[in-house]
């Protein structure tokens, strides 16, 4: 409890043992009793200031010493949802309902895939797709990409042991993989056309 400024010793000190008067009649004993109390209070105050200063000085060190961290599921959702990821010979659309549609334009046989996508709190984005063309059909297969934050930028790699590469810088960079993403289902017509070609019976 904070002491009020201007309070006298007689109103703040406890009674002398065996006496009902604050401090009793022996003033030298009163101040002798106060000395250890003042020393303890001073030490506690000093320790509090020292701890606060140490914590303040150590904050930047602790922050810089943190290991690589992963984007949250919410942050990954913002990067993928309702976007089309354009590939060299195809694309994939990540729907808001977590459904995904993809297509590739092979030399002789286009292929399409449908399935679901998901994100995790450990920085992963996974696609579960079943591909089909005129000549083959696959079972649903999961492909995952890991993400990490490095120096404020997001890096990506294909699991389980792909090489880390730039996915998205804090400020857009022409080399970013995320530059291949477009808002909305921009390749929907190409997917529908490829699916029709596959479904036509020869």
**Is the pLDDT at 115 greater than 80, yes or no?**
yes
Report the distance separating Cα 73 and Cα 98, nearest Å: 13
Q: Are residues 81 and 25 in the same domain?
A: no
Same domain membership, residue 133 and residue 114: yes
Q: What is the pLDDT of residue 121?
A: 92
Q: How many domains does the chain have?
A: 2
Q: Quick check: is 150 in a domain?
A: yes
Co-location of 118 and 186 in the same domain: yes
Q: Give the pairing type, strands 83-87 and 90-94.
A: antiparallel
| C-alpha–C-alpha distance, residues 20 and 11, integer Å | 13
Q: Which of 24-28, 43-47, 55-59, 137-141 has the highest mean pLDDT?
A: 137-141
Contact indicator for 155, 167 with CB cutoff of 8 Å: yes
Q: Are residues 109 and 83 part of one domain? A: yes
Asked if residue 1 is part of any domain, the answer here is: no
The last residue of a domain, from among 46, 64, 82: 64
| Residue 153 backbone phi and psi in degrees, to 5 | -110, 155
Per-residue pLDDT, averaged over 193-200, amounts to: 88
Q: Given its phi and psi angles, is residue 57 left (phi above 0), alpha (psi -120 to 50 degrees) or beta?
A: alpha
pLDDT at 201: 62
User: Is the model's pLDDT at 166 over the cut of 90?
Assistant: yes
- Kindly report each contact of residues 173-176 with a partner whose C-beta sits within 8 Å and lies 24 or more positions away, as own/partner: none
- Of 28, 44, 64, the last residue of a domain is 64
18/58 same-domain check: yes
* Other Cβ atoms closer than 10 A to 117: 21
| Res. 172 pLDDT band, cuts 50 70 90 | confident
Based on the domain organization, do 53 and 92 belong to the same domain? no
**Same domain membership, residue 159 and residue 82:** yes
Q: Is the pLDDT of residue 92 over 80?
A: yes
Residues 13 and 92 placed together within one structural domain of the fold: no
pLDDT at 195: 92
3 in any annotated domain: no
Q: Do residues 33 and 130 share a domain? A: no
Highest mean pLDDT among 35-39, 49-53, 192-196: 192-196
What was the pLDDT predicted at 200? Answer: 80
Cα–Cα distance, 48 to 147 (Å, whole number): 41
Is pLDDT above 70 for 101?
A: yes
- Regarding whether 16 and 88 lie in a shared domain, the answer is no
- Give Dmax over CA atoms of the chain in angstroms: 117
Residue 28 lies in a domain: yes
The residue among 46, 19, 48 whose CA lies nearest residue 33 is 19
Considering only residues 202 and 147, tell me which one the structure prediction assigns the higher pLDDT: 147
pLDDT at 47: 41
Share of the chain above pLDDT 90, in %: 53
The answer to whether residue 120 sits within a structural domain is yes
**How confident is residue 106, by pLDDT bands cut at 50, 70 and 90?**
confident
Say yes or no to pLDDT of 108 above 70: no
Among 165, 193, 190, 163, smallest CA distance to 178 is for 165
202 vs 139, residue with greater confidence: 139
Report if residue 103 sits inside a domain.
yes
* Residues recorded for the chain: 202
DSSP 99: E
Structural domain range at position 189: 73-199
């Amino acid at each position: 409890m904070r002491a009020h400024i201007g309070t006298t010793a007689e109103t703040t000190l406890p009674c002398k043992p065996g006496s009902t008067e604050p401090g009793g009649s022996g003033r030298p004993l009163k101040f002798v009793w106060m000395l250890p109390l003042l020393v303890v209070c001073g030490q506690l105050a000093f320790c509090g200031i020292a701890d606060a200063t140490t914590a303040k000085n150590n904050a930047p060190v602790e922050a810089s010493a943190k290991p690589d961290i992963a984007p949250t599921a919410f942050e990954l959702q913002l990067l993928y949802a309702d976007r089309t990821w354009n590939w060299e010979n195809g694309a994939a659309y990540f729907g808001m309902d977590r459904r995904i549609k993809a297509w590739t334009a092979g030399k002789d046989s286009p292929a399409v895939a449908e399935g679901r996508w998901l994100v995790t709190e450990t920085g992963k984005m996974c696609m579960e797709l079943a591909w089909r063309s005129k000549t083959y059909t696959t079972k649903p297969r999961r492909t995952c990409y890991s993400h990490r934050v490095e120096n404020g930028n997001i890096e990506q790699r294909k699991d389980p042991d792909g090489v880390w590469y730039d996915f998205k810088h804090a400020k857009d960079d022409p080399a970013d993989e995320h530059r291949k993403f477009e808002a909305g289902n921009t390749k929907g017509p190409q997917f529908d056309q490829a699916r029709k070609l596959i479904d036509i019976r020869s």
